[in-house]
Amino acid sequence: MAENDAAVKDLGNAYIFLGEVGAPDPTVAEIQGFDPATFGAEQQTLTVTGGPTGGDLTLTAMGGTTGDIAYDATAAQIQAALVALPAIGAGDVVVTGGPLPATPVVVTWTGRYQGAAQTLITVDDSGLTGGTTPEATVARTRVASGLIPGGHTSLDNDFSPFYEGGERTVRGSRQNPNLKEQVATAREGVDVSLIQVDNETLLLFYGGGSASEAGKFQLPNTSAPIERSLLIVYLADGAPVARWWPKVSIGRTGAVRDAKGGWLEFPIRITYLDLTGRAPALYGGQIEDDTP
């Protein structure tokens, strides 16, 4: 193995994403283009055809309908209209492209909805005027990955890998003391402290529970490890290096505690598990195709 300075990485910020067990592997392109604010987010594209010269349209999303949006609206105006809806807040969507009608606009679902599949936005274009049979349509142009951001983690007690077991023992006979080597079962994973007090953090930490009303999380009578798929992305010298496991087990490792920064910490252990027919993967660095 030759020396390769570019393959030596100084790990910077790290991000975790959790999905359903057995979720599809991220693609190399997705990791190479990693943006923590939009990774895995669904995108829907609004297109206006027929060259309208006046009028307006409305969009319906998450159970709410916007006010009138001008036929020549900018991305910023459309984003403001969506954010004004009851179920969509600041940071939940990012709108780019435009202005209409010449250039389509792209709605990226971020914030609370990043990584999750969304119902397609519907559009009422009956208010468009001029042009030749003006029409507005919305199409899903990027499917959500199903990998949900794990949120903020502690800076003081964060991403501590562990490897337990795996001891190697040589066994043999009186005639041949080196007949075979045995390797003990090993467990590997990472310890993380979550610091967001939200439904997902509480579910992972307490091993169950639910919130039947806003502001109250009902703890489970008995807890059990939660199983997910896991992606950890490190921004190494500005370039992403990622580790992926199609199946992990998540459970608490201690009591809720105060962090140095004044946050509440929820310490959890993520243990990597085997999944039949699937394998973990590592992305980035100077990995080259070694297919014969």
What pLDDT digit, counting tens, does each position of 166-200 carry? 788 878 776 677 778 777 788 899 999 998 899 99
Same domain, 103 and 121: yes
At 10 the pLDDT is 45
Exposure b/e, 244-273, CB count within 10 A at least 16 = b = bbbbbbbbbeeeeeeeeeebebbbbbbbbb
Among the three residues 103, 118, 146, which one is the final residue of a domain in this structure? 146
Q: Is residue 103 part of a domain?
A: yes
Q: Is residue 36 part of a domain?
A: no
Same domain, 181 and 125: no
Would you place residue 289 in the very low, low, confident or very high pLDDT band (cuts 50, 70, 90)?
Answer: low
Q: Is residue 22 part of a domain?
A: no
State how beta strands 148-149 and 186-194 pair: unpaired
At 157 the pLDDT is 62
Same domain, 142 and 155: no
Would you place residue 6 in the very low, low, confident or very high pLDDT band (cuts 50, 70, 90)?
Answer: very low
Q: What is the mean pLDDT of the chain?
A: 89
At 7 the pLDDT is 44
3-state DSSP helix/strand/coil % of the chain, to nearest 5: 10, 40, 50
Q: Is residue 27 part of a domain?
A: no
At 63 the pLDDT is 95
Same domain, 109 and 163: no
Among the three residues 146, 168, 187, which one is the final residue of a domain in this structure? 146
Among the three residues 126, 146, 166, which one is the final residue of a domain in this structure? 146
Tell which wins on pLDDT, 80 or 159: 80
Q: Is residue 269 part of a domain?
A: yes
Same domain, 96 and 187: no
Same domain, 128 and 156: no
Q: Are 194 and 268 in contact (CB under 8 A)?
A: yes
Same domain, 175 and 274: yes
High-pLDDT (> 90) share of the chain, %: 70
CA gap 46, 69 in Å, rounded: 12
**What mean pLDDT comes out for the span 2-11?**
43
pLDDT digits (tens, 9 = 90+) for 18-28: 999 999 999 99
Residue 132 structure tokens: 């030749």
Q: Comparing C-alpha atoms, which of 149, 136, 145, 148 is closest to residue 78?
A: 136
Same domain, 156 and 247: yes
Would you place residue 33 in the very low, low, confident or very high pLDDT band (cuts 50, 70, 90)?
Answer: very high
Q: Is residue 15 part of a domain?
A: no
Minimum mean pLDDT range among 15-29, 54-68, 203-217, 225-239: 225-239
Phi, psi of 6 (to 5 degrees): -70, -20
Same domain, 166 and 95: no
**Domain span at 113:** 43-146
Tell which wins on pLDDT, 154 or 249: 249
Same domain, 128 and 217: no
pLDDT digits (tens, 9 = 90+) for 97-132: 999 999 999 999 999 999 999 999 999 999 999 999
Q: Comparing C-alpha atoms, which of 254, 48, 45, 292 is closest to residue 154?
A: 254
Number of structural domains found in the chain: 2
- Residue 211, pLDDT above cutoff 80: yes
Q: Is residue 19 part of a domain?
A: no
CA gap 121, 111 in Å, rounded: 17
Q: Is residue 136 part of a domain?
A: yes
Instruction: Establish how many alpha carbons lie within 13 A of residue 61's alpha carbon, considering only the half-sphere containing its beta carbon.
Output: 28
Same domain, 218 and 236: yes
pLDDT digits (tens, 9 = 90+) for 34-43: 999 999 999 9
pLDDT digits (tens, 9 = 90+) for 75-106: 999 999 999 999 999 999 999 999 999 999 99
Same domain, 85 and 167: no
